[in-house]
Structure 1
Amino acid sequence: MSAPAQERPTAGGGLAPAFAAVRARLGLVAALFALAGLAWWWTVQQMRGMDEGPWTALGTLGWFLGVWVVMMAAMMFPSVAPTVALYSRMTRQRSPLSPLLFAGGYLITWVGAGLVAFALVAAVDRMSGGVLAWDRAGRWVAGATLVVAAVYELTPLKDVCLGKCRSPLGFLLGSWRDGRWGAVRMGAMHGAWCVGCCWALMAALFALGVMSVAWMALVAGLIALEKTLPWRRAATYATAALLLALGGLVFAAPDAVPALTVPGTGQMDEMGPMGS
């Protein structure tokens, strides 16, 4: 079912309708940013001293999922806020619950992505007998992951998925569903496009240290810039160049990578020493 015609923004495509909706729904956007801020605060407290560098142990499934949900809220709510605001402006339902359900559906998709990541890391580690350890293949797998992430930035699939994220009006009009369940479904569908756009950047985060707040902030910043800067190609090319440079340094001189905790060397992330 399409969105009600009287509620459709009259702005053109791209990000303009979403930014107009931000101005019209400043309270909602502020609430999402406040939730993201609380998530960042909680994440910093929980991850202090936990960064063990590339392929940091993920702990139990329940613990990891709890941390992952909060991480995704911290990293993704700022960049998805314009889309949520546009959805709120287009829907007939004026209840504040509907846009929050949209954001919840978005998080549900990222929870699914977290489950896949956890399963993949656990399966590789179990079947290969700890091959991801730094003194085995961990360094080389980390460097290769960063190079693959750089290459993905330049692929047509990345371009298509990023286009959906940067044209929220087209996405909403093409996948509109009424009602609260519709809000959840639309949020989940938007999350799926976002996963398609950002999965390689998230893989890079695992390769650099998923429990590092510094790398988490960098990846979140890259995601936000790709989704909001007017210079789309420049943003993706710059991200690809950065990932390629990081991959080369991990291969050749990991000690030269800023903020990277190199396992087994006693080098610690600036957020705090292990065991603190």
Structure 2
Amino acid sequence: MTTRVADGVEVRSAFAAARVRLGLVALLLAIAVAGWWWTARQMRGMDAGPWTSLGGLSWFLLVWVVMMAAMMFPSVAPTIALYSRMTRQRSPLSPLIFAGGYLVTWTAAGAFAFVFGAIASRERGDFFVWDRGGQWVAGGTILVAALYELTPLKDVCLGKCRSPLGFLLGSWRDGLPGAFRMGLKNGAWCVGCCWALMAALFALGIMSIVWMAVVAGLIALEKTLPWRRIATYATTTVLLVLGILMLTAPGAIPAMTVPTSSTMPQMTPMGS
């Protein structure tokens, strides 16, 4: 069996499990919908474009966790559903503990992003200021994200995300602690797969609900589209175009706020 065929079989098996576990999938999607609604309310009027202020740590992490549930639960739901089917004779809490571990890994990634931004702003005060280096850093970040799409590391991490059965069989741990550890590990593969796309979201405007939806769509496309290479190349093309536009004509990027002197300062503490 070729890798392409095996990959398609893995995706179909996960979606088959999702159809069997409709209640669990409906719960995860309901959480995602609630996350989108809550995040849109919190972000209203806060989008200052690339490198929008992250606020205080506690506020940012609260918003980040809800964002991750909104963005990631739809694409990880088939994996959690497959895990639920494999543990149907065990605790019904296991899938929720698995999802909790997954979110904990993404929370750690968000904390790292916050600390990195705070250190960069402190060491180089003009690092993220749009009229100084901010535009070039934003464009460069998106282009790096495009290049990462074509790296072996991205390919390995995406393969793990697209092969839920292989991941579950290769990482199996019994009990609720095992469910949590498996969720952590699955989240780690997901971070490895998607960190560059999330960095591109910071460069486009972390408080933009439109670009949040676009990045979530690209993530779902890569994880679920049967034609893996087409999904990867499509994402790479989108990022390349956005990176070039950011460097040459940022005003041409749809729904992006181009920072001005009257917008919120970039990557500085807010309300802390």
Question: Relative to structure 1, is the Cα distance of residues 133 and 267 closer, same or farther in structure 2, using a 3 angstrom cutoff?
Answer: closer
CA contact (8 A) 1:165 1:193 kept: yes
Q: 1:182 and 2:178 equivalent?
A: yes
1:74 aligns with 2:70: yes
User: In the aligned structure 1, how far is the partner of 2:89 from the partner of 2:119?
Assistant: 44
Q: Distance in 1 between matches of 2:95 and 2:10?
A: 20
Counterpart Cα distance in 1 of 2:247 and 2:261: 16
TM-score by length of 1: 0.91
User: Map of 1:149-228 to 2, 5 A cutoff?
Assistant: 149-228=145-224
Aligned-residue offset at 1:80? 0.3
* Alignment correspondent of 1:274: none
Give yes or no for contact 2:51–2:202 (8 Å, CA) kept in 1. yes
Superposition pairs for residues 76-155 of structure 1, below 5 Å? 76-155=72-151
Matched letter for residue 214 of structure 1:
V
What is the CA distance between 1:267 and its match in structure 2? 8.9
Question: Matched residues in 2 for 1:267 and 1:41: separation?
Answer: 24
Provide the secondary structure at the position in 2 that maps to 1:14: helix
**Residue 261 of structure 1: which of 257, 264, 269 is its match?**
257
Cα offsets for 1:64-109 (capped at 9, x unmatched): 0000000000000000000000000011544331100100000000
Contact 2:28 2:73 in 1 (8 A): yes
Q: How far is 1:23 from its partner?
A: 1.3
The answer on whether the counterparts of 1:13 and 1:170 sit within 8 Å (CA) in structure 2 is no
Amino acid at match of 2:123: M
2:238 pairs with one of 223, 237, 242? 242
Contact 1:51 1:210 in 2 (8 A): yes
Which letter does structure 2 place at the counterpart of 1:132? F
Per-residue deviation at 1:130?
3.1
For 2:31, give the aligned amino acid.
Answer: L
Paired with 1:172 and 1:212, the residues of 2 have a C-alpha distance of 34
- Provide the C-alpha distance between the structure 1 equivalents of 2:104 and 2:263, rounded to a whole number of angstroms: 35
The alignment partner of 1:15 has SS state of: helix
Q: Which moved more, 1:128-137 or 1:77-86?
A: 128-137
Aligned residues: percent identity? 72
In the alignment, structure 2 segments of 5+ residues that lack a partner are 1-7, 265-272
Aligned residues: 257
Counterparts of 1:169 and 1:97, CA distance in 2: 20
SS class of match (2:10): coil
Contact 2:94 2:176 in 1 (8 A): yes
TM-score by length of 2: 0.92
Q: Contact 1:85/1:99 (CA < 8 Å) preserved in 2? A: yes
The one-character-per-residue Cα deviations of 1:31-83 (angstroms, maximum 9, x if unpaired) are 00000000000001000010000000101000000000000000000000000
Deviates more, 1:16-25 or 1:31-40: 16-25
Among 227, 232, 255, the residue aligned to 2:228:
232
Q: Do the aligned partners of 1:205 and 1:215 also contact (CA within 8 Å) in 2?
A: yes
Letter in 1 for 2:223: K
Q: Kindly state the Cα deviation for residue 17 of structure 1 after the two structures are TM-superposed.
A: 1.8
